[in-house]
Amino acid sequence: MSDGKDRSPSPADVCIVGAGPAGAIMAYSLARRGHDVVVLDAGERYTQQDHHRRMEMWLRPDFEREAFWVDEARDRYSSTGDIFARLNKVRVKAVGGTSLHWDGNTPRLHEKDFEMESRYGLATDWPISYADLSPYYDLAEREMGVSGIDDNPHGPPRDSPYPLEGFAPSYSDELFREACDELGISMATQPKAINSEAYDGRSGCIGYGVCNACPSGAKYSAEVHARKAEAEGARIVDQVQVLAIEHDDDGDSVESVVYVTPEGTEYRQEADHFVVAAGGIETPRLLLLSDSDQYPNGLANSSGAVGRYLMDHPSVETRAVLDDPTWQNNIGWVSSRSDEFYDHEDPVPGSFHLTFGNNAASNSGGAQTRDPAMSQLLGAVGSVEDMAGLATDPFSQTQLGEDLELPTTDGPPYPVSIRGAGEMLPRAENRVTLDRSTTDTYDRPVPSIELSDSDHERETMAYCLEVQADIMDALGAEITGTLTLEDREMSSHHMGTTRMGTDPQESVVDEYCRTHDLGNLWIASSSVFPTGGANNPTLTIAALALRTADVIDEELR
Amino acid sequence: MTDSKSTLTDTRDDLPSLSRRQLLAALGGAAVAAGGYGYGVGGGAGLTPGGGGDASDAPASDAHIETLTALAEAIYPPSMPVDESWIENRVFGRVEPQEGHFDQLVAAVEAVDEHARARFGGPVTALSPGHRRGVLHSMGATEVHPTADGTTAERVRFYLLGDLLYVMLTAPESSDLTGIANPPGYPGGTDVYKRGPGGDGQ
Amino acid sequence: MWEKLQRSSVATPVVPEHVALASGAGFLLVAVATSARIPVAVVGGLLVAAALFVGPSAALGGTSGLVIHDLFRGAVGVGTLTLAVWLCVFVGLLAWFSPALAGGRARLSVRSPPRALRSYVVGTVVAGLYATAASAWVATVAGHERFYTAAADLLPGVLVAGLVGVAAIVTARRLGRAVSVPRATVGTRPGRLTTLALFVVGAAWLVGAIGTDLLAHDLGLFPTDIQLAYYVAGLLGTGSLVATVGSAVLLSVYRYGELAVVLSAPLAGVLSWVLVSLGRTRVQSPTPDIDFVNGGTDND
């Protein structure tokens, strides 16, 4: 698949592996200050038209949503824990990274998330505090274009207003508000990296309602900073797979990264500094794959922590119905949240936040899919009525015309939902390793993910479900179903696998995200989070990347 | 990055499902070739897009649009307003979701029409809506999962039914049927979600 | 089995005029049925029953009528092929099974109506199973339809053929049109055990392929085997015998189910051939097998 692009190395001050939010924002931040930056990404670059295509894939249940970027042989992995990793469903290998299909939620971590050990005796503290990161949170919000309203009584402190006016609560949020008021639970609007008005050369949201595959460009994706970095002179090289990171004879610094082009040509990109920004799974994998005599357990892994302490955000959901209209599915994003239970007093139950669904009804399905005939068959066993139905319709025929089954929000009853995401404590046995029995397109062992919940997560999310049930009761809604931890798969937030810390024996990177072992190797990713809090990580990823960029900039001067 | 819920049909991911279907298609292609059936074969190695010529410019002729509209009238609930220009704009006016998709859709339209002529005594447009549904049923298209690389019936389900349902459900014209004023996939602005059922207009 | 069929067709001459006549009639029947939107299975069933009057010419005539019709409509395709296969296999096997069809000169057995009825019904059931499975297989392999939908479309035709045929035999008897029963060549028709075995194979082929195809298609909703494995583990747990066997079976169907459907025809064919060969050995043995289910003593 030769497209005539030059993918050979070029002189660089900084080489960044991965063009997701961390890599792209850092590339822009450094290029803007005159440094030569080369960004290597395994995935492709997409066009505006491609995002329209992705929207259709997202909405149609008969398409495979991830077909757009997933290369099944290249992206192979193993999943061995209790919790299915579903990696290729949630991560994106492309210029823009996983921000190509995020929901755009940009809450910050709370102060307590940085002090888990000193406050609760749990896990570990971050080597930095919320106050250290706060100015970078402000900067990240401006870079990404965050719309928000400063109305969260339990949110972390803010030094400056949101760059864009926030989105108002939805109709159903207001229904929930009454119930929450009754229970003394605060609600707040959800800050989002979605333009409420034109910003930074992109339009305001026009309500396609398909945020995960936003075709309008109103939602931030790291493509924005890939473009801006290029405008500042950075080079973004797509469709190149980085195979290994090579260090000098002493093992003190990195000399080059080895990558391969679609044509199969191998190159070495040299630079003064190297940043691995490949997400919570591929970042540790690349380090583990880059083992050497000095680093037999993987590059920058003298602590043994590379790949360990994997965390995600366990989530639970309660679905219910109301007799009155709930006006669902008219916008793609969540507009309200609650941080009432985030800053807890006792160690357990831990932090969680709630979000109130605006899409409680399935917006696909009906005749777009067909019920499996086998489930109909199994369901009919033991029921005379169903057996009779089976005789007339053995293969689960789809009705058309008058009887066409439509996805609908019409009622009564009308659907509502509350979701909660909580904190997961870092545990060494939750980890990313190399599965040497399976290889990818480049003959490299694939990542193997092992993830299980502990009592902390179970107790936290059990409490979260109780709260959800209380709110539904106060709302007068009848609960129709819950998604519990038993139902869960790994979330899209992969954190902790190259943790940050002051002790080189315990952690992989220092407080500026420089690896303890190699002076010019940095990591920009949620993989550096020592603990993960209960909030979406992207804004924190961006803030940390901007902070690291400042340090690299100083080093280069 | 909020996670989407996991359901049986929604757990899409990962490793190669190998080429079970490709194998089948290849075998089918060989069988058809061996049988010397060169004429009008709708399935096998692939639906053969009809018409020839400017497939990329205008994949569908007026006749295709007419047939597709007739099928839409039979597939949609009767209260869904639909005419040829709407179908042409919504179906063929959208960004082609994958390369070759429109050609496959046209081939599916032709396969249905061919079946109608062979077993229902005339083209789709000459049949009643009930008989049009009968054509789809007797082709085996209503009892299969939509599958882009499957048998002719599965492709009809995927390309023809799937496209028609997609354009309907992403159009405000279906709001009365679904109760969704600003359906996902339609850029209906950011006021509707706040308005509630008491409001008016789109 | 094919050798047998050939022999039976030698014993049951195809009359050219009948074929020509049947072609015309077949064309008309298909044309009328199509215009009246009568399901294709009904048309097929009627043509099969017509074999009672004109012998295997009905199948050939019906098939050529069908092809001509579809040619006229510009719609010759896999649909034509599958119906033709269904007709030919059905009538071919029925002629072999049923003495009432063996003469090829419009003969209805009224000398021994219960036997004729019995042999016709048994023949229709077994031939119908094979014909439906063979036709559905062709539709699948040609990439036209899933096995199970194709089979479901044609199965009513077996019922039609059976009911109409039985009605014809009964009516003929009522009318008292005594016609001598043609004597088929000894040994060309299967014995009781062979018939039973063929019934089992035909039923296993049809039902097994429908079930496998349906399950494989449903399991295909899982994009990868990893996800299926996780789903099954959630459903059946892990470690137990049920879980181990269950997940192995489901994963096998997931991976090889469609291939199994493709291979079902050769497998059923070979198995049937072996059974018929064994049956012939028995018939040719010094002790004559007088237990023909479907012809009884008529045979000798």
Closest-CA residue of chain B to C142: B28
Cα–Cα dist C131/C121, whole Å = 15
State the complex-level ipTM.
Answer: 0.90
**Sorting pLDDT into bands at 50, 70 and 90, what band is A14?**
very high
pLDDT of residue A189: 97
Closest-CA residue of chain C to A378: C215
Q: Which residue has the higher pLDDT, C123 or A18?
A: A18
pLDDT of residue C100: 53
- pLDDT per residue as tens digits for the range A440-462: 999 999 999 999 999 999 999 99
**Minimum distance, in Å, between the CA of residue A374 and any CA atom of chain C:** 6
Per the prediction, chain A carries an average pLDDT of 94
Contacts of B128 in chain A (CB under 8 A): none
Cα–Cα dist B154/A62, whole Å = 11
Does residue A108 have a pLDDT over 60? yes
**Sorting pLDDT into bands at 50, 70 and 90, what band is C129?**
very high
CB contact under 8 A, A400 and B189: no
Residue C79 sits at the chain B interface (C-beta within 8 Å): yes
Residue B175 sits at the chain A interface (C-beta within 8 Å): no
CB contact under 8 A, C40 and B29: no
Contacts of B134 in chain C (CB under 8 A): 37
What fold does the segment set A8-69+90-146+193-306+493-557 form as a domain? FAD/NAD(P)-binding domain (3.50.50)
Q: Residue A241: in which H helix or E strand, if any?
A: strand A241-247
Ranges of each domain in chain A: 8-69+90-146+193-306+493-557, 373-403
CB contact under 8 A, C230 and A84: yes
Least confidently predicted of A488-502, C167-181, C211-225, C276-290? C276-290
- pLDDT per residue as tens digits for the range C144-157: 999 999 999 999 99
Cα–Cα dist A369/A60, whole Å = 9
A108: phi then psi, degrees, rounded to nearest 5: -90, 160
Are C145 and B152 contacting, i.e. CB atoms less than 8 angstroms apart?
yes
Q: Which residue has the higher pLDDT, A119 or C99?
A: A119
**Minimum distance, in Å, between the CA of residue B185 and any CA atom of chain C:** 24
Quick one: which of C11, C7, C170, C195 has its CA closest to C102? C11
pLDDT of residue C115: 73
Query: Residues A351-370: what's their mean pLDDT?
Result: 82
Query: Residues B123-147: what's their mean pLDDT?
Result: 95
**Sorting pLDDT into bands at 50, 70 and 90, what band is B112?**
very high
pLDDT of residue A540: 98
E strands present in B105-184: none
Q: C235 is written with which tokens? A: 């459903």
Residue B60 Cα distances to B66, B99, B109, B136, angstroms: 10, 15, 10, 20
Contacts of C77 in chain B (CB under 8 A): 37, 39-43, 114, 118
Please report the residues numbered 213 through 252 in chain C whose beta carbons come closer than 8 angstroms to any beta carbon of chain B: 216-218, 220-227, 230-231
Ranges of each domain in chain C: 2-299
Residue B53 Cα distances to B50, B60, C75, angstroms: 9, 11, 22
Please report the residues numbered 66 through 85 in chain B whose beta carbons come closer than 8 angstroms to any beta carbon of chain A: 74-78
Residue B26 sits at the chain C interface (C-beta within 8 Å): no
- pLDDT per residue as tens digits for the range C88-122: 999 888 888 775 554 444 344 445 567 778 888 88
**Minimum distance, in Å, between the CA of residue B156 and any CA atom of chain C:** 10
pLDDT of residue A387: 77
**Sorting pLDDT into bands at 50, 70 and 90, what band is A364?**
low
Q: Coil, strand, or helix at residue A297?
A: coil
Q: Coil, strand, or helix at residue B89?
A: helix
Closest-CA residue of chain A to C215: A374
Identify the residue whose tokens are 């028995």.
C282
Ranges of each domain in chain B: 57-175
Of A84, A375, A395, the CB nearest to C148: A395
- pLDDT per residue as tens digits for the range A247-298: 999 999 999 999 999 999 999 999 999 999 999 999 999 999 999 999 999 9
Q: Which residue has the higher pLDDT, C95 or A514?
A: A514
**Sorting pLDDT into bands at 50, 70 and 90, what band is A474?**
very high
Query: Residues A165-169: what's their mean pLDDT?
Result: 97
Q: A193 is written with which tokens? A: 């990296």
Does residue A201 have a pLDDT over 50? yes
Quick one: which of A466, A170, A186, A474 has its CA closest to A322? A474
pLDDT of residue C113: 65
Of B11, B45, B115, the CB nearest to C143: B45
| A398-402 long-range Cβ contacts below 8 angstroms, 24+ apart | A398/A367, A398/A370, A398/B142, A398/B143, A399/A367, A399/B142, A400/A367, A400/B74, A400/B75, A400/B133, A400/B136, A400/B142, A401/B74, A401/B75, A401/B76, A401/B77, A401/B78, A401/B129, A401/B130, A401/B133, A402/B77, A402/B78
**Minimum distance, in Å, between the CA of residue C234 and any CA atom of chain A:** 9
> Which burial class, exposed, middle or buried, applies to A487 when counting CB atoms under 10 A from its CB (0-12, 13-18, 19+)?
middle
pLDDT of residue C99: 59
Q: Which residue has the higher pLDDT, C230 or B156?
A: B156
Q: How many CB pairs below 8 Å do chains B and C form together?
A: 155
Please report the residues numbered 83 through 122 in chain B whose beta carbons come closer than 8 angstroms to any beta carbon of chain A: 94-98
Query: Residues A60-84: what's their mean pLDDT?
Result: 88
Contacts of A63 in chain C (CB under 8 A): none
Quick one: which of A512, A477, A59 has its CA closest to B174? A59
Does residue C209 have a pLDDT over 90? yes
pLDDT of residue C298: 34
Please report the residues numbered 141 through 170 in chain B whose beta carbons come closer than 8 angstroms to any beta carbon of chain C: 143-145, 147, 150-154
CB contact under 8 A, C220 and B145: yes
- pLDDT per residue as tens digits for the range A132-146: 999 999 999 999 999
Contacts of C230 in chain A (CB under 8 A): 79, 84
